[in-house]
Amino acid sequence: MAGWSRETAYLTAGGKQLEYRCWGTGPEAAPTIVLLHEGLGCLALWRDFPEKLAQRTGWGVIAFSRAGYGQSDPADLPRPLDYMTREAHEVLPQVLDAVGFRRGVLMGHSDGATIAAEYAGGIEDFRVRGLILMAPHFFTEDMGLAEIARAKEAFDKGDLKDRMAKYHRDAEATFRGWNDAWLDPKFRDWNVAEVIDYLRVPALAIQGRDDPYGTLAQIEELETRAYSPVDTLILDDCKHAPHLEQPEAVLAEVAEFCARLERIEAAEPETA
């Protein structure tokens, strides 16, 4: 088992070496928030958010880079169009076991939010007591696909490649793995909203009102279909990265959500 490491370390999951780091209290003493990054994110691109999250909640926080991101091993390309489902079902269980996850929440951003929802809806894991989904994707939208096409232009002709190279071992492979999947004509029909029907833990959904990658229809789908409680935080003057654009609002809402989960758990009688 990789264990709790406050310095960047490596664990094995899905047959790959993945970089990870922990903040705050270990899983033996407090619940844990597991951070799942966006489609072009990685461990480093969470910046100081994990540390602030640990301080505000009193919980432990773990972040890692999926294969093909940051300094983790390269991914096998091209990515299959169901790559988020595969990450949820085949890789994330091994990550959670490797770091000694005992109980807590999955907090995902964009692709990471989809992976978190797919895990909670597709795998029975009583350690997961809640979900925090920032800018989740459950189905494609024309405006989001158009923005992803613009990202391709920025990578091919602008400075996006140079900016990504500061954080990813192979910026070209990282970008193509994500962008080629989303812009594949067959991906227009991608829809995993059915997973919402199987969620059985409380969720907090966070979305910027000006998000160019997805509309509030994603959040409405979650609210409409979820059997379990869904709280929402819709932020004005916010695009695709609420935790970086409106960190105080996000930290406050997440801290309250986590505290409420602890109050609920404390009130539930022990079962034999």
Task: Go through the chain and tell me how many residues it has.
Answer: 272
- How sure is the predictor about 272, in pLDDT bands with cuts at 50, 70 and 90? very low
116 vs 222: CA distance, rounded Å:
13
**Residue 124 included in any domain:** yes
Q: Which residue has the tokens 């964009």?
A: 110
Q: What is the DSSP string of 7-28?
A: S-EEEEETTEEEEEEEESS-TT
Q: Going by DSSP bridges, is the β-strand pair 60-64/203-208 parallel, antiparallel, or unpaired?
A: unpaired
> What pLDDT, on the 0 to 100 scale, is given for residue 269?
64
Q: Check pLDDT > 50 for residue 205.
A: yes
Q: Check pLDDT > 80 for residue 243.
A: yes
**Residue 269 included in any domain:** no
User: 248-252 long-range contacts, Cβ below 8 Å, gap at least 24?
Assistant: 250/134, 250/206, 251/52, 251/53, 251/56, 252/56
**Residue 127 included in any domain:** yes
- 109-130: pLDDT as tens digits: 999 999 999 999 999 999 999 9
**Residue 270 included in any domain:** no
Domain hosting 235: range is: 9-264
- 74-119: pLDDT as tens digits: 999 999 999 999 999 999 999 999 999 999 999 999 999 999 999 9
Q: What is the pTM of this model?
A: 0.96
What values do phi and psi take at 106, rounded to 5? -100, 130
How many distinct structural domains can be found in the chain?
Answer: 1
**Residue 251 included in any domain:** yes
Query: Which helix or strand (DSSP H or E) is residue 270 part of?
Result: none
- The per-residue pLDDT of the chain, averaged, comes to 96
- 133-145: pLDDT as tens digits: 999 999 999 999 9
Could you tell me the CATH number of the domain that includes residue 77? 3.40.50.1820
**Residue 212 included in any domain:** yes
**Residue 272 included in any domain:** no
**Residue 271 included in any domain:** no
